[in-house]
Structure 1
């Protein structure tokens, strides 16, 4: 593994089960459990030999965690220059430059670099919050773009995913359950048929606070599977055995 070149305010976090390390700066943006669970939830096509794209990659966590399950090429697309640069250093830190690369670009303007209809799998942890006149936004630009639908919203994200994917290619998304109607509408309008849904709960007995979605481009309507839930924490605020295994157990297998 290549030595890290950390800058002021940066640290290295990692996912032991996948043996992946991520350079982060908490003052800009840090990945959380939703990134880990999306990478875990996503199932590589053709044993991961094709092209996968992480849209809105941030520091590259999802794409790098997912890359450990694949043998193919992974492209990390990130609009913010600082985060894209950190992601590129994390790629080098994990010795993955031979098959993982970073595009510092608006995801809606990447089609010269990534040919439409060439991608097997698209992953995204997009901004969760819609924007209106009453929306309270974080004053930090990094967090604004990461959390609020300023640069991209669900319909435009679904359109980009549709344009990138091959027929029968898969789109994986993590979002908030209260946006599920918006997710379904955006995907259906762009011929992305939802096939698997898994809810994540902070603790047993509480409402879900996260939803993982798999959709297939041009898939047959119907046949949606609701998977068993993931419970993140015990009553003592420790990770459950299920999440402990995802984070610290054996390398993920599909």
Structure 2
């Protein structure tokens, strides 16, 4: 295993171990985890959990939920398991190494109330592929496409279950199309901007399996940095700096 680093969230209440040189989580995962509002006794599945950052944040913010995280890469799955153990959450978070395309509800004890994912954003052949395989698989659609992701979400969700994800704003149409093709009706969106006067970089999206078409809500934009280049109050709170 590569050399590891440790970061903390929520004033030291959560420790996050990561590879120093391999794939490391980005702020996208933090924004996504904090946008999700699972049922307080619900079952949540994180597709492509990486180091387990999303389950850790969700478990801290929502003490009643049960979380499963799946990761195709063994090195990352091992680190996610290490994080669960380091934060004494083995009774609430289960991590397993598996290709999402092979997942079935029986593998997680039943259909999920929520499926969440911070997926690879880039199509193969678009942009430079990182020479580090771990990073490349996490950022490009090498082992799973957008269609694979959304179809897996549908298969793992109960009827009326929620799918929550974050995706590039310039691929919003692709995401909407795939969600509707999978009978996951888009219900809410929130654009994410680096600064107050910048174009949307990302979108936070939520859909409901089997819901009737229409009724989409557009939330106020999420701004990451203020005019001084610091995190806005909203984003600072996501890292637990105001706990």
TM over 0.5: yes
How has the CA–CA distance of structure 1 residues 18 and 211 changed in structure 2, closer, same or farther, with 3 Å as cutoff?
farther
**TM-score by structure 1 length?**
0.90
Structure 2 Cα separation of the partners of residues 130 and 214 of structure 1:
22
Aligned to 1:158: 150
Deviates more, 1:197-206 or 1:24-33: 24-33
Deviates more, 1:235-244 or 1:219-228: 235-244
Structure 1 Cα separation of the partners of residues 140 and 174 of structure 2:
15
How has the CA–CA distance of structure 1 residues 180 and 246 changed in structure 2, closer, same or farther, with 3 Å as cutoff?
same
- Aligned ranges for residues 197-208 of structure 1 at < 5 Å? 197-208=189-200
**TM-score by structure 2 length?**
0.94
Residue 116 of structure 2 corresponds to residue 128 of structure 1:
no
Residue from 26, 49, 71 that aligns with 2:20: 26
Contact kept? 1:232, 1:240, Cα under 8 Å:
yes
Aligned to 2:170: 178
- Aligned ranges for residues 82-231 of structure 1 at < 5 Å? 82-111=75-104, 113-114=107-108, 118-132=111-125, 135-231=127-223
Kindly report the root-mean-square deviation, in angstroms, between the aligned alpha carbons of the 2 structures: 1.7
Q: Deviations over 1:110-139 (max 9, x none)?
A: 225236x6111100000010113x642111
Structure 2 Cα separation of the partners of residues 192 and 177 of structure 1:
19
Q: Deviations over 1:46-103 (max 9, x none)?
A: x2x1211100000000121112214132111001101000000100111100121111
Runs of at least 5 residues in structure 2 that lack an aligned partner in the other structure: none
Aligned residues: 241
- Aligned ranges for residues 74-89 of structure 1 at < 5 Å? 74-89=67-82
Structure 1 Cα separation of the partners of residues 197 and 73 of structure 2:
38
